[in-house]
Amino acid sequence: MREYFLRRLLQSVLVLFLVSLVTFALIHSAPGGPVRIYLTPGLSQEAAKVQAHNLGLDQPIPIQYVRWLGDLLQGNFGYTFKNHIPVGKILWPTVGNTLILMGVAWFLSLVIAIPWGIYNSTREYGLSDQSAAVISYLGFAMPTFWFGILLQELFSLKLNWLPLSDMYTMGQARNILNLLPHLVLPVTVLTLGFLAAYVKYSRSSMLEVLFQDYIRTARAKGMPERRVVFRHALRNALIPIITVLGLDLPILVGGAALTESVFNWPGMGRLFVEMAMAREYSVLMAITLLTAVIVILGNLLADILYAVVDPRVQLAGRGGRAA
């Protein structure tokens, strides 16, 4: 178990290192390159040269990379080009806002999708199953931002039930009562998107398991159907679901950019889009790396969960099945 986990941890670090390498290379291939990121704007050519030297920007690229990495590890993401603000200062507040939005939507979609998928797997092609299939098809084919706009038009503009955008209403206390109505629409959009995938996963994973021999064994033992489904099948069905949830994390985080833009939600995704328009590379790099860290941590967590649910994993680390 520990070896398995350590190996996965090592792999994660390697991937993270590669992500940083790729990001660095991308930025360096940008017109203007790193000079644009780190130099105080508006300097004379002479002064810029001096500053570039002081910052090490005239050194060979590999050395620059190592220094950049070192800075990152110390939490120094660089400065914005325009106002020379530390990147961390504008980045960190958005992270929490994104986590609130994503967390709520993700939690809701899982809580709905897994039981629904299980139910559908036991009643294939029933009404509930067919509706889930329709939702899945729509969820996969519909542009989420369009769905968001439609919801805004209906519930904010026409019916005037919910706020149009933003996280809090201006001029009011920033508390949960202020937050909740703002959450409803973006969470609905995101939840529908996740739901489309998760109902499908949970149904097919459960179906796969329900046809396994050990399920028949459980029935042959006289287990009531409820126990067969919720004890014998569910735990096995969770194994692939956990894997897929881990793998889907990047899509999840990426989806935030669109929903946040539509609803003007002050999160990481919207910041990324804004900074892309402004060509603020240092912020873009920081967010890219940060999301990679989040994704990789999520995958690690999925691995741990996986090992908790599936006893076979513990041995995989030691290489193969014991006789």
Segment 125 to 164, residues that bind another protein, using CB under 8 A:
137-138, 140-143, 145-147, 149-150, 152-153, 157-158
Does 53 contact another protein by CB under 8 A? no
From 68-76, 86-94, 189-197, 243-251, span contacting another protein (CB under 8 A) = 243-251
User: What are the b/e assignments for 7-27, b being 16+ CB within 10 Å?
Assistant: ebeeebeeebeebbeebbeeb
Q: Is the dihedral of CA 291, 294, 300, 303 positive or negative?
A: negative
Is-contact 196 143, C-beta < 8 A? Answer: no
Footprint of another protein on 75-94 (CB under 8 A): none
The three-class DSSP label of residue 86 is strand
Q: What is the largest CA-CA distance in the chain?
A: 86
Pick between residue 106 and residue 147 the one whose CB is nearest to another protein: 147
Q: Out of 187, 196, 197, 262, which residue is the one contacting another protein (CB under 8 A)? A: 262
Q: Out of 197, 232, 302, 307, which residue is the one contacting another protein (CB under 8 A)? A: 232
Which residues touch 230 (CB under 8 Å, ≥6 apart)? none
Question: Which spans in the chain are helix H?
Answer: 2-28, 33-38, 45-55, 61-73, 87-122, 127-141, 144-151, 176-210, 213-220, 225-227, 234-262, 268-277, 281-309, 313-316
By rule CB under 8 A, what count of residues binds another protein? 81
d(CA 280, CA 302): 33
From 87-95, 110-118, 196-204, 274-282, span contacting another protein (CB under 8 A) = 274-282
Instruction: Calculate the alpha carbon distances from 32 to 78, 93, 280 in Å.
Output: 16, 29, 12
Q: Out of 56, 86, 88, 250, which residue is the one contacting another protein (CB under 8 A)? A: 250
Does 272 contact another protein by CB under 8 A? yes
d(CA 73, CA 54): 20
Q: How far is the CB of 282 from another protein (least distance, A)?
A: 12
d(CA 41, CA 35): 10
Pick between residue 54 and residue 131 the one whose CB is nearest to another protein: 131
Q: Out of 10, 26, 111, 180, which residue is the one contacting another protein (CB under 8 A)? A: 26
Does 319 contact another protein by CB under 8 A? no
Q: Out of 1, 5, 19, 317, which residue is the one contacting another protein (CB under 8 A)? A: 19
Binding mask 187-226 for another protein (x = CB under 8 A): --------------------x---xxxx-xxxxxxxxxx-
Pick between residue 39 and residue 286 the one whose CB is nearest to another protein: 286
From 11-19, 56-64, 91-99, 108-116, span contacting another protein (CB under 8 A) = 11-19
Footprint of another protein on 280-299 (CB under 8 A): 281, 284, 287-288, 291-292, 295-296, 299
